[in-house]
Amino acid sequence: MNHQMFCFQCEQTAGCTGCTGVAGVCGKKADTALLQDKLTEALINLARATKGKEDRITAETDQLVIEGLFTTLTNVNFNNETITQLIQQTEAQTQLFDAEASLKKHFDINTLWSADEDIRSLKSLILFGIRGMAAYAYHAAILHYTDTHVNKFFYKALSAIAAEDWGMNELLPVVLEVGEINLQCMALLDRANTETFGNPVPTEVTLTVEKGPFIVISGHDLYDLKQLLAQTEGKGIHIYTHGEMLPAHAYPELKKYKHLKGNFGTAWQNQQKEFADIPAPVVFTTNCLMPPKASYADRVFTTEAVSYPEIIHIGAEKDFTPVIQRALELGGYPCDKKFTGINGGESVMTGFARNAILSSADLVVDAVKSGAIKHFFLVAGCDGAKPQRSYYTQFVKQTPADSIVLTLACGKYRFNDLDLGTIGGLPRIMDMGQCNDAYSAIQVAAFLAETFQCSVNDLPLSFVLSWYEQKAVCILLTLLHLGIKNILLGPSLPAFISPNVLDFLAKNYHIAPITTPENDLRKLLQ
């Protein structure tokens, strides 16, 4: 492999095969990609060095592994300086377990990229899956929720990537175990979020921005939003969510802040256009950060694992003063400014997480029994730039009037501003939250299966998923671990799935690519 870089971990990878030139489609430059590879190698070496010395692993070691993995997720960190620091810290930790580690043969990630395609495929599923899971573990840890099972598994999975003589038989169980442990990790984050901020309640969120200074906050980290809300209270600054932060409006401990006003913009891939001329700063707490254009780079701030060269980073002390000052300087719009979603809607609903839906369980069950609800669709996952993604808008528009669309993650911006009406008081589109709230969807599916005494696969419930980055990979593995069949996946299949692995998934789980909304709906409603 003589490429300047090699990365194929996300859906927009060049030519649907791999980013290999001077920069990836996401804007990650070759030198940054090489440093991320080096960080991954260092994490694998650390995991191997802990073997037999697990009792010496500390909270600091766990945190480093989690942060290191999260840092290499798509659209998180473009900063060579912070990645280099993480490599150094990881190497120093490795020395604590194995002083001679530097003398021994290091794992070389190129052996992974150039391995037999099925081995490369399975090991990539493990690596990308744990990168996604690490993001969830990171958010939970910020709220002081950790799980030893989850943390231990990172070392096992990292070591599996380096296992030299492992074939399909050894690697496949680890792939499914990523899904199993990710379910525990999403449960942990669900507990962290709901015990800290309360159970989400259905909430209408306006897309209009009121006049005056405001701050836009993006990403998945609710703790960051809470700090920002507390620090801006009474300062005449309004707060608007963006992207995956939208479901924050539904949490009682966040919605109680009157200056948490609404949601700005749509999904991540539109940020370079949507942020170009806003008179306000934007804070990125996680993915998806795109390289900021010069037109708005001086208004962007990062925090936690997110970083970009020359962009101001808010450190662990969470002092948002520079953001607040920028908001006051910029001053916001002179009068209220109306925005709409991609279908022209002026507001969106969120907050239909497990607790909200299950507390209306009687309504749901009665509507199913009476035939008022004949089908559920989970149309969920990431958004992205490919034009084929309009499939998801068309699909939702064409779902029959006696069906419910459950959704989560940023792919919902394709249709969450549509008004599809209600069934027996329940809105036909219900936003369950962020990607990690796939946990809520799993709980609701399990409840329905128990109520109707059948398996989830026998419910009138179809999974129509969209993927972009590695969180979607770990969630998909969780669904496979749960034995969920007949998932439709788009807009295209991952480049790292080899034909044999795809064949295995198709035979055992009947997973298939999306086709057209008309075809797929016909098939799913049969």
Which spans of this chain sit near ligand SF4 (rule: CB under 6 A)?
Answer: 7-10, 12-13, 19, 24-26, 28, 33, 74
Q: Which of 254, 432, 243 shows the shortest CA–CA distance to 356?
A: 432
Q: Could you give the maximum distance between any two Cα atoms of the chain, in Å?
A: 70
Minimum distance of ligand SF4 from residue 290's CB (angstroms): 11
Residue type at 284 in one-letter notation: F
Strand-pairing partners, residue 262, are 206, 240
Q: Which of 243, 281, 292, 341 binds ligand SF3 (CB under 6 A)?
A: 243
Minimum distance of ligand SF3 from residue 469's CB (angstroms): 5
Q: Which of 37, 190, 244, 417 binds ligand SF3 (CB under 6 A)?
A: 244
Q: Which does 28 bind (CB under 5 to 8 A by kind): ligand SF4, ligand SF3, none?
A: ligand SF4
Q: Which of 332, 278, 270 shows the shortest CA–CA distance to 300?
A: 278
Integer Cα distance of 459 and 98 in angstroms: 52
CA 239 to centroid of chain Cα atoms: 22
**Which span (79-87, 303-311, 449-457, 465-473) binds ligand SF3, by CB under 6 A?**
465-473
Q: Which does 7 bind (CB under 5 to 8 A by kind): ligand SF3, ligand SF4, none?
A: ligand SF4
Residue 469: which residues within 8 A CB-CB, separation 6 or more?
A: 9, 10, 11, 73, 74, 75, 132, 287, 288, 382
Minimum distance of ligand SF3 from residue 480's CB (angstroms): 18
Q: Which does 487 bind (CB under 5 to 8 A by kind): ligand SF3, ligand SF4, none?
A: none
Nearest CB to ligand SF4, comparing residues 37 and 304: 37
DSSP string, 224-273: HHHHHHHHHTTTT-EEEEEGGGGGGGG-HHHHT-TTEEEE-S-SGGGHHH
Q: Which of 251, 469, 476, 491 binds ligand SF3 (CB under 6 A)?
A: 469
48 in Cβ contact with 162 (< 8 Å): yes
260 in Cβ contact with 229 (< 8 Å): yes
Q: Which of 87, 93, 75 shows the shortest CA–CA distance to 36?
A: 87
Minimum distance of ligand SF4 from residue 420's CB (angstroms): 33
Q: Which of 87, 357, 410, 432 binds ligand SF3 (CB under 6 A)?
A: 410
- Binding status of residue 280 toward ligand SF3 by CB under 6 A: no
Q: Which does 324 bind (CB under 5 to 8 A by kind): ligand SF3, ligand SF4, none?
A: none
Q: Which does 10 bind (CB under 5 to 8 A by kind): ligand SF4, ligand SF3, none?
A: ligand SF4
Minimum distance of ligand SF4 from residue 465's CB (angstroms): 18
Q: Which does 392 bind (CB under 5 to 8 A by kind): ligand SF4, ligand SF3, none?
A: none
Integer Cα distance of 76 and 285 in angstroms: 9
- Angstrom CA distances, 176 to 51, 62, 74, stand at 22, 22, 22
- Binding status of residue 189 toward ligand SF3 by CB under 6 A: no
Residue 353: which residues within 8 A CB-CB, separation 6 or more?
A: 194, 199, 200, 247, 250, 432, 433, 437, 440
Nearest CB to ligand SF4, comparing residues 10 and 222: 10
Q: Which does 24 bind (CB under 5 to 8 A by kind): ligand SF4, ligand SF3, none?
A: ligand SF4
240 in Cβ contact with 209 (< 8 Å): yes
Within 202-241, the residues that bind ligand SF3 by CB under 6 A are: 220
Nearest CB to ligand SF4, comparing residues 448 and 495: 495
Minimum distance of ligand SF3 from residue 272's CB (angstroms): 14
Integer Cα distance of 149 and 146 in angstroms: 9
**Which span (98-106, 207-215, 296-304, 469-477) binds ligand SF3, by CB under 6 A?**
469-477
Minimum distance of ligand SF3 from residue 334's CB (angstroms): 31
Within 368-387, the residues that bind ligand SF3 by CB under 6 A are: 382
Minimum distance of ligand SF3 from residue 414's CB (angstroms): 12
CA 353 to centroid of chain Cα atoms: 16
Residue 520: which residues within 8 A CB-CB, separation 6 or more?
A: 395, 464, 488, 514
Q: Which does 409 bind (CB under 5 to 8 A by kind): ligand SF4, ligand SF3, none?
A: ligand SF3
- Binding status of residue 268 toward ligand SF3 by CB under 6 A: yes
Q: Which of 226, 255, 261, 471 binds ligand SF3 (CB under 6 A)?
A: 471
Minimum distance of ligand SF4 from residue 293's CB (angstroms): 17
With H, G, I as helix, E, B as strand and everything else as coil, classify residue 206.
strand
312 in Cβ contact with 301 (< 8 Å): yes
- Angstrom CA distances, 361 to 356, 364, 371, 427, 447, stand at 9, 5, 15, 14, 9
Minimum distance of ligand SF4 from residue 412's CB (angstroms): 22
Give the interface with ligand SF3 as residue ranges (CB under 6 A): 220, 243-244, 268, 287-288, 382, 409-410, 434-435, 468-469, 471-472
